[in-house]
């Protein structure tokens, strides 16, 4: 019998379950699972240990302390999880900035053999597609998983095919602003598909990588920050003396993006994230209509 009671503890996996057409099976979520909107009506099983109402530097300090102690960033409501009696629990293989750890989930379930844990650890774009298949298989909906992967690949291929004929734009994507961190994982792949060339961190550090590679565009997409919060936090960058010396800043090609809803969720909306990047890097060739909601130009 197909799993009828599913708990998703990752925002991206919740989106995947809904995109598979199986949202009615979800009975619980993490506090970060807010898309599609109906996901917010499900019981939240996690609560943040971090105070996110502080600066980027303040959040980073908290994360480092938690990491040093081996603690996860979110607290799991064990009793609520047990009461929901799930057949399947989707959780991160490793805890991240806004997630519980797999060991917390396993401890909460006490080794129950009747509950399937689907552990996800995407590092590249292909991992995301495989995670879609993994979730679909766990829910006995393999054909729906393949169909979703095909739709996403086709949509992304259409952008990549057009962008391949354009001159690549050197771009720096920032996954955190203070301290400065350059985006990795699947982001450089999306950048290449969007007609860009991603600046990645080198031994000298992120600021040296930025200065040395002279990116023609900069996109700030900090994890967990919406567009408004990203815009506010970019003041930490603008206050640095190195900022004004960057080519992208001098030419006015710096952008704030919604790093909460897009880019940092390895799920179906990476297709939208790709389209946002294409729109930023090649505005004359791509106009998907995300400006003002997914991204905006940043000016001092």
Q: What is the mean pLDDT of residues 141-157?
A: 98
Centroid of chain to Cα 160: 20
The whole domain housing 39 covers 6-121
- pTM of the prediction? 0.94
Whether residues 291 and 180 fall in one domain: yes
* Predicted local confidence at residue 1, as pLDDT: 58
pLDDT tens for each residue of 82-127: 999 999 999 998 755 557 888 889 988 987 878 999 999 999 999 9
Place of tokens 């971090």: 50
Q: What is the mean pLDDT of residues 167-179?
A: 94
Whether residues 274 and 173 fall in one domain: yes
Whether residues 178 and 292 fall in one domain: yes
* Predicted local confidence at residue 100, as pLDDT: 83
CATH for 68: 3.40.50.1980
Question: Is the residue at 54 inside a domain?
Answer: yes
* Predicted local confidence at residue 200, as pLDDT: 76
Whether residues 176 and 290 fall in one domain: yes
Whether residues 183 and 288 fall in one domain: yes
Q: What is the mean pLDDT of residues 140-144?
A: 97
Question: Is the residue at 108 inside a domain?
Answer: yes
Whether residues 111 and 173 fall in one domain: no
CA-based angle 265:269:275, to the nearest 5? 120
Question: Is the residue at 150 inside a domain?
Answer: no
Provide the H-helix boundaries in the chain: 11-19, 56-69, 78-84, 102-109, 125-138, 142-163, 187-193, 206-213, 227-233, 235-238, 247-250, 270-281
Residue 211 has pLDDT above 90, yes or no: no
Asked if 213 and 202 touch (Cβ cutoff 8 Å), the reply is no
Burial of 184 (0-12, 13-18, 19+ CB in 10 A): middle
- Which of 88, 106, 121 finishes a domain? 121
Q: State whether the Cα torsion 123-125-126-130 is positive or negative.
A: positive
More confident residue, 76 or 299: 76
Question: Is the residue at 116 inside a domain?
Answer: yes
Residues 6+ apart with CB under 8 A from 245: 211
pLDDT tens for each residue of 243-298: 989 999 999 999 999 999 999 999 999 999 999 999 999 999 999 999 999 999 99
Whether residues 103 and 184 fall in one domain: no
* Predicted local confidence at residue 71, as pLDDT: 77
Question: Is the residue at 145 inside a domain?
Answer: no
Question: Is the residue at 77 inside a domain?
Answer: yes
Whether residues 268 and 181 fall in one domain: yes
Instruction: Compute the distance between CA of residue 23 and CA of residue 40 in angstroms, rounded to an integer.
Output: 12
Question: Is the residue at 138 inside a domain?
Answer: no
Centroid of chain to Cα 21: 21
Mean pLDDT of the chain: 92
Whether residues 186 and 292 fall in one domain: yes
Whether residues 285 and 177 fall in one domain: yes
Whether residues 114 and 217 fall in one domain: no
Whether residues 171 and 293 fall in one domain: yes
* Predicted local confidence at residue 204, as pLDDT: 56
Domain count, the chain: 2
Instruction: Compute the distance between CA of residue 77 and CA of residue 235 in angstroms, rounded to an integer.
Output: 36
CA-wise closest residue to 298 among 206, 193, 222, 191? 222
Question: Is the residue at 141 inside a domain?
Answer: no
More confident residue, 283 or 200: 283
Q: State whether the Cα torsion 39-41-44-49 is positive or negative.
A: positive
- Which of 121, 139, 158 finishes a domain? 121
């Amino acid at each position: 019998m197909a799993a009828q009671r599913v708990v998703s503890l990752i925002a991206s996996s919740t989106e995947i379950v809904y995109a598979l057409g199986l949202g009615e099976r979800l009975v619980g979520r993490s506090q970060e699972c807010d898309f599609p909107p109906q996901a917010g009506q499900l019981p939240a099983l996690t609560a943040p240990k971090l105070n996110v109402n502080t600066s980027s530097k303040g959040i980073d300090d908290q994360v480092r302390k938690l990491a040093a102690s081996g603690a996860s960033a979110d607290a799991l409501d064990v009793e609520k999880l047990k009461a929901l009696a799930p057949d399947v629990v989707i959780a991160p293989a490793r805890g991240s900035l806004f997630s519980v750890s797999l060991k917390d989930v396993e401890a909460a379930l006490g080794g129950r053999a009747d509950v399937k844990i689907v552990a996800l650890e995407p590092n590249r774009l292909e991992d995301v597609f495989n995670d879609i298949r993994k979730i679909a298989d766990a829910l006995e909906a393999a054909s729906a998983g393949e169909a979703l992967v095909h739709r996403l690949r086709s949509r992304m291929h259409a952008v990549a095919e057009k962008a391949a004929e354009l001159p690549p734009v050197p771009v720096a994507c920032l996954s955190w602003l203070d301290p400065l961190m350059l985006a990795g994982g699947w982001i450089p792949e999306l950048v290449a598909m969007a007609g860009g060339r991603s600046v990645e961190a080198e031994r000298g550090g992120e600021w040296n990588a930025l200065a040395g590679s002279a990116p023609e565009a900069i996109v700030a997409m900090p994890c967990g920050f919406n567009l408004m919060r990203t815009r506010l936090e970019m003041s930490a960058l603008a206050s640095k003396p190195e900022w004004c010396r960057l080519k992208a800043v001098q030419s006015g090609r710096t952008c704030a993006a919604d790093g909460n809803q897009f880019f940092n969720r390895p799920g179906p909306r990476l297709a939208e994230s790709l389209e946002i990047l294409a729109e930023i890097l090649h505005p004359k060739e791509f106009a998907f209509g995300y400006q003002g909601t997914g991204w905006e130009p940043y000016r001092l």
